Structure 1
Amino acid sequence: MQSIKTIYKIGPGPSSSHTFGPMMASKYINEQYPDATHFKITLFGSLALTGKGDKIILKTLGASKCEIIFDMKTAVEHPNTMIIEVFDNDTKVAQHTFVSIGGGKIEIDGKKGNVDPEIYPHTKMDDIQVYCNERHLRLDQYIDEVEDSDFDSYMNQIFKQMLKTVNTGLKKTGVLPGSLKIDRVAHALYQSAQSCSDIQDKNSLLLSSYAYAANEQNASGGIVVTAPTMGSCGVLPSLVYHFYHDQKYPKKTLIQGLKVAGLIGNLIQTNATISGAKAGCQAEVGAACSMGAAFVAYCQLQNNEQIECAAEIGLEHHLGLTCDPVGGYVMIPCIERNAVAAQRSVDAARLAKYLRNVKKNRVSFDMVVQTMNLTGKKLPIELKESALGGLAVVVPEKA
């Protein structure tokens, strides 16, 4: 299992699979073929159906040098597949196949690009729990034992960017880009929270406003953190912002909590997927809720078993969640869904705190990850980031 750094990456929205991945592929081509005169790019599967990767490709490779083809008929093994043909005048000098596998990661000609080394000795939560129990380690101590010397510095950057993304989004008003013409509401939600006399309602509204802020930044192409993806980039940052500014948790605690959340995301990525195009939104917002629940449980000083239970609850109750973005935009239902998942992260941690004291959990985290993977394979393509089913065909694009 690779470093948790592969889970948290900073970059422009709105989609880790459809913008971040194609951007990385285009950058690779630029680096390898700086003298190319033009390119022919063919997008397949989900990339073709939503058509949201073309703008970042044109921006990275140069609009005047690109011909983009949307192939919606050819069957491909992975729905986020693209082929880039490289030309020197009339001569084709190279051709590469890229797969955007989720969270901004890509495969190049069947091999993972910029491969990070496998540094974790375990790939299952059950094995990690045994290891930690034998050595009396907390999960964050286990992580610190494995990661390299600059990991704390890296996580500090992630922490700062999460806060910055939310803070920037809270100040913005107006309409999000695209044909849906959706109003930004994070600022208004935040203002509503200030007038709440009920503390529970206030905290709930604050948390929601932070999730909206991050996701509205993502939807407008702003800089966000994959956690584990851009489509789910509001869950963890909203919790971090709320726990830091409103609940006054120490920065050190929150960064250690982010590490534990990253471990959860890493296990999901390793044993299943974090790609909505492969397994639906259970792999994105479901994974983020699981990570968020682990984050909250850690910050509340719950033990390793309770943290696992919280993560398991967070993912289990998103099983089967579809990815059906209206118009192919990462807006409806994505933005609101992040706000709901942030709330559910808190609820899952609260339930785990007490549930684990009265009974042993029959359903392990590893079991739920396996189930999510199996469920994702059964979901029809129409409900996996293709904008061909679900809300995408029921909700009109124009109000």
Structure 2
Amino acid sequence: MTAFVSALDLFSIGIGPSSSHTVGPMRAARTFVEGLAADGRLEGVRRVTCSLYGSLGATGLGHGTPDAVVAGLAGLTPHDCDPDEVRGAWAGLGTDGTEVRLAGTHPITMTRPDVTLEPRTRLPGHPNAMTLQAWGDDDALPIAEETYYSVGGGFIRREGDAPEQAEGLRHPLPYSSAAELLDLCDRLGVNFCDVAWRNEVAVHGEEGIVAGLDAIWWAMAECVANGLHTEGTLPGILGVKRRAPEVRRRLEEYDRDEHVRDTSTEWLHSFALAVNEENASGGRVVTAPTNGAAGIIPAVGHYYLRFVPGADQEGIRRFLLTAAAIASLVKKNASISGAEGGCQAEVGSACAMAAGALCGVLGGTPRQIENAAEIAMEHHLGLTCDPVAGLVQVPCIERNAIAASTAVSAARLALHGDGTHIVSLDTVIETMRQTGLDMMTKYKETSEGGLAVNVIEC
């Protein structure tokens, strides 16, 4: 089965703070009520309950998961909803119940206890699991019950469904490993982005994929701009102050003085901070490949446009296509879910994507691109996911800024070689998968270990 996943699916426009804990559960809840409507059972529903298991239960409150569930039941979708309609959708339910219109039409009454957090219960399908039940007049037996897994990056899988075939039959250039991708590039005399382009065109057409890539980039750019100009404090008990606007002002002052040092790396940091502060506030972001790692691809893309001579929008399209080609390998052969593999699966994957993509638009060969991605991933192996207070803030925001720097360094280091290296990208991806399996659960998005238990929250 091909590894390739479309850039239009990997880079999905949604809301913060988490692709797996906010976007995925919202999609699952909406899918559930849409199924009820399609089966003609929606009118008989009087009550809906949801149980959040494992990582969703452990850090769901900090990630806004119950709010996302209620918003999804009401028919909202991550890509076009007003983020303000999601915030407080569950927390604002009254003690006597509040009306929620399932799929935007059928009214029921919901209370906060209708969504329960069960962090100690872990279902075998995935650490991010949730079970939805629809009830009628008979409280003894639900009308419908479905379990969904939020498998990272906003992707969901319903229990019992067959594995996705990832459009494999429609892709003219399938591959399942980096070695196979390199072989395709060698035989056809093309680069990573060209392989991705041909696969995308086969599914979406030339106009469709260009429009889709441009929409993704404009959403990323808008997120950066919003983050650079929005002051204030992030939600939650930590009281984290937004830093991106102050960094931007200082850098603008430095840049007006032509004798001041090169500020390109500091701008790179500011771009990443801006995105992840927007994400932490529940704003509009693009999964890249997750929300927790959403700042790295936009930051490196902005670095390319601002500091690389000759950079243009066509280069950004090639940048995104190359990143998607690399992310597809990680998603198929390891994981992009922090609850499954720790932060190495999120920030490590995003760093590898950005490093390879930047290497490509800087003129790198296929083997240099593969080398850049490998360097970036290798130096994130073992990175834990231990968010303080269950919020996507500490250490997540700074981690994106540092990983963006690592991506640029990896790309430029790879460009100084001929692509020959000891550890292959396939090997490091497999190592990341094995490391994730070995990593203790408390270090995988549960806030039960590491910084989460060693930082005083208030």
Normalising by the smaller structure, the TM-score range is over 0.9
Q: Name which of 316, 338, 346 aligns with 1:254.
A: 316
- Equivalent residue of 1:111, what SS? coil
CA RMSD, Structure 1 to Structure 2 (Å): 1.7
Determine the structure 2 residue equivalent to 1:346.
408
Report the CA distance shift for 1:10/1:375 in structure 2 as closer, same or farther (over 3 A).
Answer: same
Question: Offset at 1:146?
Answer: 1.4
Q: Name which of 224, 231, 234 aligns with 1:173.
A: 231
Determine the structure 2 residue equivalent to 1:328.
390
Please identify, of 15-24 and 59-68, the stretch whose mean Cα deviation from structure 2 is larger.
59-68
Report the CA distance shift for 1:292/1:45 in structure 2 as closer, same or farther (over 3 A).
Answer: same
Determine the structure 2 residue equivalent to 1:106.
156
Determine the structure 2 residue equivalent to 1:30.
33
Determine the structure 1 residue equivalent to 2:117.
70
Please identify, of 152-161 and 378-387, the stretch whose mean Cα deviation from structure 2 is larger.
152-161
- Equivalent residue of 1:355, what SS? coil
Q: Does 1:284 align with 2:293?
A: no
Q: Deviations over 1:171-221 (max 9, x none)?
A: 100001111110000011112222336776511111111100000110011
Question: Offset at 1:42?
Answer: 0.6
Determine the structure 1 residue equivalent to 2:193.
140
Paired amino acid for 2:213: M
Determine the structure 1 residue equivalent to 2:93.
none
Q: Does 1:388 align with 2:448?
A: yes
Please identify, of 314-323 and 389-398, the stretch whose mean Cα deviation from structure 2 is larger.
389-398
Question: Offset at 1:113?
Answer: 9.1
The answer as to whether partners of 1:49 and 1:70 remain within 8 angstroms in 2 is yes
The answer as to whether partners of 1:85 and 1:96 remain within 8 angstroms in 2 is yes
Please identify, of 68-77 and 189-198, the stretch whose mean Cα deviation from structure 2 is larger.
189-198
TM-score, reference length from structure 2: 0.83
Report the CA distance shift for 1:200/1:267 in structure 2 as closer, same or farther (over 3 A).
Answer: farther
Please identify, of 24-33 and 287-296, the stretch whose mean Cα deviation from structure 2 is larger.
24-33
Q: Which runs of 5+ in 1 are unaligned?
A: none
- Equivalent residue of 2:115, what SS? strand
Please identify, of 21-30 and 240-249, the stretch whose mean Cα deviation from structure 2 is larger.
240-249
Q: Deviations over 1:39-98 (max 9, x none)?
A: 111111001111231111123325532501111232322210010011123351000000
Report the CA distance shift for 1:141/1:199 in structure 2 as closer, same or farther (over 3 A).
Answer: farther
Separation in 2, partners of 1:265, 1:198 = 40
Paired amino acid for 1:70: L
Separation in 2, partners of 1:68, 1:97 = 14
Separation in 1, partners of 2:330, 2:260 = 34
Paired amino acid for 1:139: F
- Equivalent residue of 1:140, what SS? helix
- Equivalent residue of 1:123, what SS? coil
Q: Does 1:191 align with 2:252?
A: no
- Equivalent residue of 1:297, what SS? helix
Determine the structure 2 residue equivalent to 1:208.
269
Please identify, of 3-12 and 110-119, the stretch whose mean Cα deviation from structure 2 is larger.
110-119
Q: Name which of 423, 429, 451 aligns with 1:369.
A: 429
Report the CA distance shift for 1:114/1:223 in structure 2 as closer, same or farther (over 3 A).
Answer: farther
The answer as to whether partners of 2:122 and 2:129 remain within 8 angstroms in 1 is no
TM-score, reference length from structure 1: 0.95
1:8-27 matched pairs, under 5 angstroms = 8-27=11-30
Q: Give the number of aligned pairs.
A: 396
Q: Name which of 30, 45, 54 aligns with 1:45.
A: 54
Question: Offset at 1:301?
Answer: 0.6
Paired amino acid for 1:263: A
Q: Name which of 1, 5, 11 aligns with 2:8.
A: 5
Please identify, of 318-327 and 155-164, the stretch whose mean Cα deviation from structure 2 is larger.
155-164
Paired amino acid for 1:236: I
Paired amino acid for 1:38: R
Question: Offset at 1:362?
Answer: 1.3
Q: Deviations over 1:237-296 (max 9, x none)?
A: 111122224445111012111110111111100110000000000000000100110121
Please identify, of 182-191 and 118-127, the stretch whose mean Cα deviation from structure 2 is larger.
118-127
Report the CA distance shift for 1:351/1:199 in structure 2 as closer, same or farther (over 3 A).
Answer: farther
Determine the structure 2 residue equivalent to 1:314.
376
The answer as to whether partners of 1:106 and 1:112 remain within 8 angstroms in 2 is no
Question: Offset at 1:170?
Answer: 0.6
- Equivalent residue of 2:418, what SS? helix
Paired amino acid for 2:227: G
Separation in 2, partners of 1:381, 1:364 = 28
The answer as to whether partners of 1:309 and 1:356 remain within 8 angstroms in 2 is no
Paired amino acid for 2:24: G
- Equivalent residue of 2:291, what SS? coil
User: What's the % identity of the aligned pairs?
Assistant: 37
The answer as to whether partners of 2:288 and 2:294 remain within 8 angstroms in 1 is yes
Q: Which runs of 5+ in 2 are unaligned?
A: 37-41, 75-89, 91-97, 99-109
The answer as to whether partners of 2:228 and 2:244 remain within 8 angstroms in 1 is yes
Determine the structure 2 residue equivalent to 1:304.
366
Separation in 2, partners of 1:137, 1:111 = 36
Determine the structure 2 residue equivalent to 1:81.
129
Question: Offset at 1:377?
Answer: 0.4
Please identify, of 137-146 and 208-217, the stretch whose mean Cα deviation from structure 2 is larger.
137-146
